[in-house]
Amino acid sequence: MVKYTNMEGEKEDIKALEIKAKKEISAAGDLKELDQIFRAYLGKKGHITRVLRSLASMGEAERKIRGKAANDARDALQAAFEAKKQQQTLQIEEAEKKDHVDVTAPGTKLPKGHLHPLTHIQRKCQEIFNGMGFAVAEGPEIETEWYNFDALNIPKDHPARDLWDTFWLKPKAADYLLRTHTSPVQARYMEKNNPPLRIIAPGRIFRYEATDASHEINFYQLEGLMIGKDVSVANFKAIIEEFYSQFFKKETTVRLRPSYFPFTEPSFEIDMRQGKGNWLEMMGAGMVHPNVLKNVGYIPREWKGFAFGMGLDRLAMMKYKIDDIRLLYSGDLKFLQQF
Ligand code: DAH
Percentage of the residues of the chain whose pLDDT score is greater than 70? 96
Q: What is the pLDDT of residue 249?
A: 96
Rg (CA), the chain: 44
Q: What is the pLDDT of residue 47?
A: 87
24-63 pLDDT, tens digit per residue, is: 888 888 888 888 888 988 889 888 888 888 888 888 888 8
Mean pLDDT on 268-295: 95
Pick the residue whose CA is nearest to atom 13 on ligand 1.
285
Pick the residue whose CA is nearest to atom 8 on ligand 1.
309
Q: How far is the CA of 291 from the centre of ligand 1 (A)?
A: 16
Render 168-223 in DSSP notation, one character per residue. BPSSGGG-EEE-SSSTHHHHHHHHHSPSSEEEEEEEEEE--S--BTTB-SEEEEEE
Q: How far is the CA of 312 from the centre of ligand 1 (A)?
A: 13
Atom of ligand 1 lying closest to residue 223 CA = 12
218-243 pLDDT, tens digit per residue, is: 999 999 999 999 999 999 999 999 99
Q: What is the pLDDT of residue 10?
A: 42
The one-letter code for the residue type at 59 is G
- Regarding predicted confidence, which is higher, 7 or 20? 20
Residue 171 preceded by cis peptide, ω within 30: yes
Q: What is the pLDDT of residue 2?
A: 55
> Does residue 204 register a pLDDT over 50?
yes
Mean pLDDT on 261-287: 95
> Does residue 67 register a pLDDT over 50?
yes
Sheet of 278-288, strands arranged across: 135-136, 197-206, 218-228, 304-311, 278-288, 264-274, 254-259
Q: What is the pLDDT of residue 4?
A: 55
Torsion angle of C-alpha atoms 202, 208, 210, 215, degrees rounded to 10: -10
Q: What is the pLDDT of residue 53?
A: 86
Q: What is the pLDDT of residue 8?
A: 43
User: With a 6 A CB cut-off, is 309 part of the ligand 1 pocket?
Assistant: yes
> d(Cα 225, Cα 205) in Å, to the nearest integer?
18
> Does residue 9 register a pLDDT over 80?
no
Q: What is the pTM of this model?
A: 0.71
121-165 pLDDT, tens digit per residue, is: 999 999 999 999 999 999 999 999 999 999 999 988 888 787 789
User: With a 6 A CB cut-off, is 286 part of the ligand 1 pocket?
Assistant: yes
Mean pLDDT on 254-262: 97
69-100 pLDDT, tens digit per residue, is: 888 888 888 888 888 888 888 888 888 888 88
Mean pLDDT on 180-199: 98
CATH, domain range 117-336: 3.30.930.10
Helices 14-27 and 31-42: angle between axes, nearest 10 degrees:
170
Mutate to test the pocket of ligand 1, among 177, 218, 261 (most ligand atoms within 8 A of CB): 261
For the chain, give every domain's residue range. 3-99, 117-336
291-329 pLDDT, tens digit per residue, is: 999 999 999 999 999 999 999 999 999 999 999 999 999
Atom of ligand 1 lying closest to residue 181 CA = 4
> Does residue 120 register a pLDDT over 60?
yes
User: With a 6 A CB cut-off, is 203 part of the ligand 1 pocket?
Assistant: no
> Does residue 213 register a pLDDT over 70?
yes
The one-letter code for the residue type at 287 is M
Q: At a CB cut-off of 8 Å and minimum separation 6, what does 40 contact?
A: 21, 46, 47
Atom of ligand 1 lying closest to residue 180 CA = 4
> Does residue 7 register a pLDDT over 70?
no
Q: What is the pLDDT of residue 240?
A: 98
Count CB neighbours of 43 within 10 A: 14
Q: How far is the CA of 225 from the centre of ligand 1 (A)?
A: 11
> Does residue 102 register a pLDDT over 60?
yes
> Does residue 14 register a pLDDT over 50?
yes
> Does residue 177 register a pLDDT over 50?
yes
Q: What is the pLDDT of residue 5?
A: 55
Helices 312-320 and 233-248: angle between axes, nearest 10 degrees:
40
Half-sphere exposure of 325 (CA within 13 A, CB side): 16
Longest dimension (CA), the chain: 131
Pick the residue whose CA is nearest to atom 7 on ligand 1.
284
User: With a 6 A CB cut-off, is 284 part of the ligand 1 pocket?
Assistant: yes
Q: At a CB cut-off of 8 Å and minimum separation 6, what does 71 contact?
A: 52
Q: What is the pLDDT of residue 330?
A: 94
